[in-house]
């Protein structure tokens, strides 16, 4: 049985920083930026990182897919929050995957996402494998990268059976072409001249790999209906297409105007976007560049379109809020020394033994369901909360992350420390039972009222700067239905 | 039901320090200030006290743990001292300990003292503190005003009250308390404020503005209790006695079970009912003469009027706007200025409220004295959050009344 893609999904943070705001702030220093003030870049909230965006993309991809059948999880990013702690393990916990899942982190190159996808497709097992790529690149103020990059993630479930696109061929090469690098312990990328990257890098390494791929697959450029070239440098994709005989009309939108380059996730984001449009039988070529090149060739099956992501690239791009406050971007990314006030000084040490004991509650958002009276509650406790039951030891695990909830009470708080005041939070009551006093995110005070439908999202709870530990939990955000109504 | 505490214990001495930003005082200075007043009032020797209870809530900010800070500050003769922490009900709970000790016969004379020295944080508002290893991982990043502010959203939704009407009602609560506080030399804030000032103040946590929040201050208050017989033996004639002491503690229903709608305090409803029964009160709206409630925020006071079964459910706004709870109303609420003007040195607040009742019942409240001294007064504390809290109620009155 041939292997291929079972499902795809993506995630793009809601905020879109207007490039003209970046240019307005930094054009005085680097006048060359002034020509690049068009469009917008995706900007992660302060409580998002590659792990939280990976969870969001995976949830978008998986929908109601039976998660306990997933055999392996691959997480790819050049901005993993932990240098030594399996980041895929955090994602697996948030997704409530079975503990028998294999977990892998892939990093250190912009093509990490596509390489991980290629490896997953090349694996020997028949069980489904989840591949997620995410990046939130830290960029220097007034750098070209600040304008061209964007934050985001994409996810694929691959395997056998009801595939929507089959893998036709793969070709790759590894070349130590250093267009940019980030040394160990250094905060920012060091980048070489763009003209050299374009002419000696992309324009030579990618076409050579694509030609290998075509030879393996027995196809020509004319057979390619969708060409995903994740590069936001001008004219690169067109030039590669021309050199490989691919029609200019097959070159996919690189999302530069509306999102920016999502780094290790971008090849997968563009592929996911292409799969939203692909027709049965169409050939899709995706390339990934970084110290060499990976290329994958897919053919859409008759099942294309039969399973859709919850939102997909298009849906997330449509969930959009313009951000014109460049200072907020600097602050969210810790690129400016903000006076955060004494309230922010509270020690945020995490007891790792307690986190481990409570990992299903905290990371998995698993509460309890009383097997005597059926009452749902969060968190799970020894004694059922229902005053008419109060049974001892009656609780079975019950996941809350995908339940629908509504605001019962709320506030917008200017006193408590928040990286993005006012801190909005309140009691969210789940339609099926249970409730939680919970932080809200991706929300403004005028969007919340008693009764507003809320979705649960996995986010950063706190960052312990003293010990370099990121603490995660779930937050509530206006539900897709509510957002659509408000738009 | 248990027979209760009614008229078993008399208060023979009370003291209350000046509340405020006591930059020049340590917690032990405040304890001594309150205690000396109470000791003089009681007319006993310090060494006649058999046992003591010390209330502090945020002890890491000042005296530290255990009963030793009180024993050392007053040089108590190596008697039993128990430290009590039960959120904002700490002071009343310490009082409960002392009263129960006397009622049981285990002690002849007992002391309850509350103290809090909060103004050494370097910032306004209550001190930030850890909430425990597990809670810190998932509890909302909530402040006290943010937790209590949510009552407004749920109350408005339940009773269909427009935002502006609600805001004006809670503003009236604060204007009234500032009026009262302006007549109290021990209050932290002794200034009157106007409706416009309150309505126009910066928002702390939607919809609570600056004047909807009580102050944070340093202070101490204490009570010396004994049996009515011993009180008479000490020459006391106009005896003030304890009629009821109740505590109700959330068990997680409000926080976790969908039977609570967020618009009221479930514990206050339970504790007040039990307290009325214990005190022999059948119709609180008619029989209670004076109340001091836990107005940490104006909205807390508003909904508490209903939870004490004095205003009908959904009727607090009308009573407040009608002046029912004003100093010259039927049941004055916070006639001393309340937490609003005293601020909230947590361990001291409950005892500060009982202190005001004690003065009013004896006709010793000076410029703010009710013309006809009250017969029964009620105090109320509410600590924690609307969705998980500790409520204490005391009813005190003239002995035999």
Q: Give the pLDDT of residue A481.
A: 61
Closest partner residue to A411 (CB to CB) among B149, B157, B259 is B149
pLDDT the model gives residue A124: 86
The stretch A305-318 carries a mean pLDDT of: 97
Looking at the structure, do residues A357 and A462 belong to the same domain, yes or no? yes
Size of interface A-B (CB pairs under 8 A): 140
State which of B183, B202, B233 marks the end of a domain.
Answer: B233
Cβ distance of B255 and A445 shorter than 8 Å: no
Q: Any CB–CB contact under 8 A between B1 and chain A?
A: no
| A334-390 pLDDT, tens digit each | 999 999 999 999 999 999 999 999 999 999 999 999 999 999 999 999 999 999 999
Confirm if B359 and B352 have CB atoms less than 8 A apart: no
Query: Span B192-200, mean pLDDT?
Result: 98
Q: Percentage of chain B with pLDDT > 90?
A: 96
Q: Are B340 and B214 in contact (CB under 8 A)?
A: yes
Is B154 close to A450, i.e. CB distance below 8 A? yes
Decide if pLDDT at A487 tops 50.
Answer: no
Residues B109 and B164 in one domain: no
Query: Are residues A381 and B252 in contact, defined by beta-carbon separation less than 8 angstroms?
Result: yes
- pLDDT per residue over A127-152, tens digit each? 999 999 999 999 999 999 999 999 99
At B401 the pLDDT is: 82
Which percentage of chain A shows pLDDT scores above 70?
99
Based on the domain organization, do A105 and A183 belong to the same domain? yes
Q: Sorting pLDDT into bands at 50, 70 and 90, what band is A486?
A: very low
Number of domains in chain B: 2
Query: For testing the chain A interface, which of B61, B256, B303 should be mutated: the one with the most A CBs within 10 Å?
Result: B256
CB atoms within 10 A of CB A310: 16
Give me the mean pLDDT over the B145-173 stretch. 97
For the stretch B309-338, pLDDT in tens is 999 999 999 999 999 999 999 999 999 999
Which of left, alpha, beta for B92 (phi over 0: left; psi -120 to 50: alpha)? alpha
Q: How many domains does chain A have?
A: 3
A181-219 pLDDT, tens digit per residue, is 999 999 999 999 999 999 999 999 999 999 999 999 999
Planar angle of CA B303, B309, B310, nearest 5 degrees = 85
Contacts of A482 (CB under 8 A, 6+ apart): A452, A453, A454
The span from the CA of A282 to the CA of A299, in Å, is: 6
Q: Please say if the pLDDT value at position A479 is more than 70.
A: yes
Same-domain pairing of A252 and A174? yes
* Model confidence pLDDT, tens digit, residues A39-65: 999 999 999 999 999 999 999 999 999
pLDDT mean across residues, chain A: 96
d(CA B379, CA B304) in angstroms, rounded, equals 11
Q: Residue B179 belongs to a domain with what CATH number?
A: 3.40.47.10
Residues A473, B137: C-beta atoms closer than 8 Å: yes
B31 with B101, same domain: the answer is yes
Q: pLDDT tens for residues A217-265?
A: 999 999 999 999 999 998 999 999 999 999 999 999 999 999 999 999 9
Q: Which residues of A touch B258 (CB under 8 A)?
A: 429, 433-435
Average pLDDT over residues B344-358: 98
Residue B112 lies in a domain: yes
Per-residue pLDDT at B47 exceeds 50: yes
pLDDT score of A154 more than 70: yes
Would an 8 Å CB–CB cutoff place B122 in contact with chain A? yes
Containing structural domain, residue A284 = 4-332
> Are A79 and A138 contacting, i.e. CB atoms less than 8 angstroms apart?
yes
In a domain, A337, yes or no: no
Domain shared by A295 and A348, yes or no? no
Token pair of B398 as six digits: 């003239």
Distance CA B213, CA B229 (A): 43
Position B1 pLDDT exceeds 80: no
Q: Residue B292 domain-assigned?
A: yes
Instruction: Check: CB of residue B78 under 8 Å from CB of residue B337.
Output: no
Range of the domain at B183: 144-210+243-398
ipTM for the complex shown: 0.95
Q: Assess whether pLDDT exceeds 90 at residue A125.
A: no
Q: Does the residue A475 lie in any domain?
A: yes
Q: What pLDDT was estimated at residue B373?
A: 86
A415: tokens are: 């006193």
B270-316 pLDDT, tens digit per residue, is 999 999 999 999 999 999 999 999 999 999 999 999 999 999 999 99
Q: How far is CA A5 from the centre of its chain?
A: 18
Is A426 close to B134, i.e. CB distance below 8 A? no
Q: Above 70 in pLDDT, residue A447?
A: yes
Partner-chain contact A423 B137, CB within 8 Å? no
């Amino acid at each position: 049985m041939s292997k291929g893609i079972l499902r795809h999904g993506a995630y793009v943070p809601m905020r879109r920083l207007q490039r003209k705001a970046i240019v307005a702030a930094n054009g005085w220093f680097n006048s060359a930026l002034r020509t690049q003030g068009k469009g917008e870049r995706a900007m992660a909230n302060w409580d998002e990182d590659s792990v939280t965006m990976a969870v969001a993309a995976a949830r978008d991809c998986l929908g109601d897919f039976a998660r306990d059948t997933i055999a392996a999880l691959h997480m790819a990013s050049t901005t993993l929050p932990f240098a030594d702690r399996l980041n895929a393990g955090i994602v697996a916990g948030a997704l409530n995957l079975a503990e028998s899942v294999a977990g892998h982190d892939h990093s250190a190159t912009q093509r990490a996402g596509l390489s991980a996808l290629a490896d997953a497709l090349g694996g020997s097992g028949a069980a489904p494998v989840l591949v997620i790529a995410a990046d939130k690149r830290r960029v220097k103020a007034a750098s070209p990268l600040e304008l061209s990059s964007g934050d985001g993630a994409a996810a694929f479930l691959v395997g056998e059976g009801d595939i929507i696109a089959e893998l036709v061929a793969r070709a790759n090469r590894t070349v130590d072409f250093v267009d940019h690098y980030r040394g160990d312990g250094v905060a920012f990328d060091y980048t070489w001249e763009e003209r050299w990257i374009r002419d000696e890098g992309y324009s030579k390494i990618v076409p050579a790999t694509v030609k290998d791929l075509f030879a393996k697959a027995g196809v020509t450029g004319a057979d390619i209906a969708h060409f995903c070239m994740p590069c936001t440098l001008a004219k690169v994709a067109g030039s590669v297409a021309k050199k490989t005989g691919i029609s200019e009309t097959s070159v996919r939108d690189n999302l530069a105007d509306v999102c920016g380059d999502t780094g290790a996730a971008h090849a997968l984001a563009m592929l996911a976007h292409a799969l939203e449009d692909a027709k049965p039988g169409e050939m899709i070529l995706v390339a990934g560049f970084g110290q060499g090149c990976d290329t994958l060739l897919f053919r859409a099956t008759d099942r294309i379109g039969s399973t859709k992501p919850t939102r997909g690239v298009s849906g997330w791009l449509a969930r959009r809020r313009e951000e014109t406050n460049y200072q907020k971007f600097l602050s969210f990314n810790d690129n400016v020394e903000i006076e955060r006030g004494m309230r922010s000084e509270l020690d945020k040490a995490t007891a790792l033994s307690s986190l481990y004991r409570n990992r299903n509650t905290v990371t998995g958002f698993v509460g309890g369901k009383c097997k005597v009276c059926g009452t749902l509650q969060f968190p799970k406790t020894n004694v059922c909360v229902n005053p008419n039951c109060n049974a001892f030891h009656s609780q079975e695990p019950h996941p809350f992350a995908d339940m629908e909830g509504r605001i019962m009470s709320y506030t917008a708080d200017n006193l408590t420390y928040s990286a993005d005041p006012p801190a909005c939070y309140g009691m969210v009551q789940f339609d099926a039972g249970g409730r939680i006093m919970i932080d809200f995110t991706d929300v403004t005070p005028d969007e919340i009222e008693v009764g507003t439908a809320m979705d649960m999202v996995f986010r950063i709870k706190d960052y312990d700067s003293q010990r370099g530990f990121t603490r995660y939990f779930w937050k509530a955000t206006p539900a897709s239905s509510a957002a659509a109504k408000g738009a | 039901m248990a027979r209760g505490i009614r008229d078993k214990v008399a208060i023979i001495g009370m003291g209350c320090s000046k509340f405020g930003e006591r930059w020049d005082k340590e917690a032990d200075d405040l304890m001594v200030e309150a205690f000396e007043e109470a000791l003089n009032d009681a007319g006993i020797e310090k060494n006649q006290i058999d046992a003591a209870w010390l209330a502090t809530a945020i002890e890491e900010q000042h005296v530290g743990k255990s009963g030793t800070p009180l024993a050392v500050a007053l040089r108590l003769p190596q008697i039993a001292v128990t430290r009590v922490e039960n959120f904002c009900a700490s002071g009343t709970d310490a009082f409960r300990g002392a009263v129960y000790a006397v009622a049981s016969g285990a002690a002849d004379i007992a002391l309850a003292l509350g103290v809090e020295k909060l103004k050494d944080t370097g910032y306004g508002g209550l001190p930030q503190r850890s909430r425990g290893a597990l809670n810190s991982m998932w509890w909302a990043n909530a402040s006290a005003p943010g937790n209590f502010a949510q009552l407004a959203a749920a109350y408005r939704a339940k009773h269909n009250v427009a935002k502006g009407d609600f805001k004006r009602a809670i503003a009236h609560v604060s204007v009234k308390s500032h009026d009262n506080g302006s007549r109290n030399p021990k209050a932290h804030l002794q200034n009157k404020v106007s409706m416009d000032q309150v309505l126009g103040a910066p928002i702390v946590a939607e919809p609570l503005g600056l004047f909807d929040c009580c102050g944070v201050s340093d202070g101490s208050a204490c009570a010396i209790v004994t049996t009515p017989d011993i009180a008479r033996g000490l020459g006391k004639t106009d005896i003030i006695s304890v009629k009821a002491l109740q505590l109700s503690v959330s068990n997680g229903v409000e926080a976790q079970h969908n039977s609570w709608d967020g618009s009221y305090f479930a514990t206050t409803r339970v504790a007040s009912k039990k307290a009325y029964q214990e005190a022999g009160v059948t119709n609180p709206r008619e029989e209670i003469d004076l109340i001091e409630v836990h107005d940490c925020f104006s909205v807390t006071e508003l909904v508490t009027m209903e939870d004490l079964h004095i205003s009908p459910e959904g009727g607090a706004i009308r009573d407040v706007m009608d002046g029912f709870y004003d100093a010259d109303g039927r049941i004055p609420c916070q006639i001393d200025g309340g937490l609003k003007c005293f601020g909230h040195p947590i361990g001291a607040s409950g005892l500060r409220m009982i202190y005001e009742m004690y003065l009013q019942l004896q006709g010793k409240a000076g410029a703010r004295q009710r013309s006809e001294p009250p017969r029964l007064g009620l105090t109320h504390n509410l600590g924690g959050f609307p969705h998980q809290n500790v409520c204490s109620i005391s009813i005190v009155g003239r002995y035999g009344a």
